[in-house]
Structure 1
Amino acid sequence: MKKELVVGLLVVTVLTGCSAQAEQDEVIETLHVKWDNPIEAGKYLVTITGCNDCHTDGYLMMGGQVPEEDWLMGSAVGWRGPWGTTYPTNLRLRVQEWDEETWVKTLKNRKALPPMPWMNVNRMSEEDMRAIYVYIKSLGPKGEHVPLAISPELEPQTPYLSLFPQNMPVATSQK
């Protein structure tokens, strides 16, 4: 009888935890930036969420001192890791190719290769996703498409940053 009670309490605890997590996720996804102008809200979000860090060539190395007219054009500098080599998309062209609904649906559901933090983007509120879309669209098309991702066994022909872990501790088996 005690075993069933313990198992029952464990199930209730797990379900309560899942319910609390679901409620927390719902709250997170309904929070959004309040701004009178969606373009300004989008610019703010692009800035604070680090979109430029990858999607704007040289942004990190120049301490963010890249003119806004050159933001979000992607980069031919790849990110190489165990998954292969990926390139930050030219978002200025992407928003010209997609309507707002496709943008939101993609940001809500996409699971793709690193280093893009899709797990975080997926949780963004729809209002914020739309503000980012409107902002990027307001910048207008500019630049070229970036290379497609390549598999791990291929050597990139473009510059790339390595994201292979170095000096990792040796895993020990636990007994």
Structure 2
Amino acid sequence: MGPNGPELIDSLLLSGYPSGRPIPEVDENAVTNGRALMNEGLTMAVGPWGVSFASDITSDETGIGTWTEEQFSKALKQGWYKGIDGGRKLLPPMPWQNFREMKDGDVRAMYLNLKSTRPVRNIVPSPVSPRLQASTF
């Protein structure tokens, strides 16, 4: 956050939740009745699913640098984490369901664009399940 609100940091663009940033405490009572919270950088979400973090989608190996186009498509259109069949589904707030009908050519264009980005090495924290949330925070 800057003096005028959210600001883009070019050197971290598309790299997700910063690996060196501590996970802030969350008041459990704030996430009730289906509500969700986002951090000030919009890279962390808290809700009934637990805590999830924006992924690194730069061309670095910590992002999508080693992904195939098929993996990218499966993640985007089918919601598979890292595009791996049978793994876990992507967590909110990633709206993968909105991309189900995306044309293959459009998916390819997104993939090629992201693969052309400047790599940012950033290992994003793993999600925190709801049952671990209370002890983590």
Quick one: percent identity of the two aligned structures? 34
Aligned to 1:149: 127
Post-superposition CA distance 1:62-88 (Å, at most 9, x none): 2xx525553210014521101100001
Aligned to 1:89: 55
Please show how residues 120-159 of structure 1 align to structure 2 within 5 Å: 120-155=98-133
Aligned to 2:72: 103
Evaluate the alpha carbon distance shift between residue 129 and residue 68 of structure 1 in structure 2; reply closer, same or farther with a 3 A threshold. Answer: farther
TM-superposed deviation, 1:106: 2.4
Aligned to 1:72: 14
Please show how residues 161-172 of structure 1 align to structure 2 within 5 Å: none
Structure 1's unaligned 5+ residue stretches are 1-57, 159-175
Contact 2:63–2:122 (CA under 8 A) maintained in structure 1: no
Question: CA RMSD of the aligned region, Å?
Answer: 2.5
- Cα separation, 2, equivalents of 1:104 and 1:127: 11
Structure having the higher Rg: 1
- Cα separation, 1, equivalents of 2:119 and 2:10: 13
Aligned length: 98
Post-superposition CA distance 1:14-64 (Å, at most 9, x none): xxxxxxxxxxxxxxxxxxxxxxxxxxxxxxxxxxxxxxxxxxxx6xx42xx
Contact 2:78–2:97 (CA under 8 A) maintained in structure 1: no
SS across alignment from 1:154: helix
Amino acid in the other structure paired with 2:53: Y
Amino acid in the other structure paired with 2:14: L
TM-score by length of 2: 0.60
Amino acid in the other structure paired with 1:78: M
- Cα separation, 2, equivalents of 1:155 and 1:83: 10
Amino acid in the other structure paired with 1:84: G
- Cα separation, 2, equivalents of 1:70 and 1:81: 25
Compare the two structures and name the one with the higher helix fraction: 1
Evaluate the alpha carbon distance shift between residue 66 and residue 82 of structure 1 in structure 2; reply closer, same or farther with a 3 A threshold. Answer: same
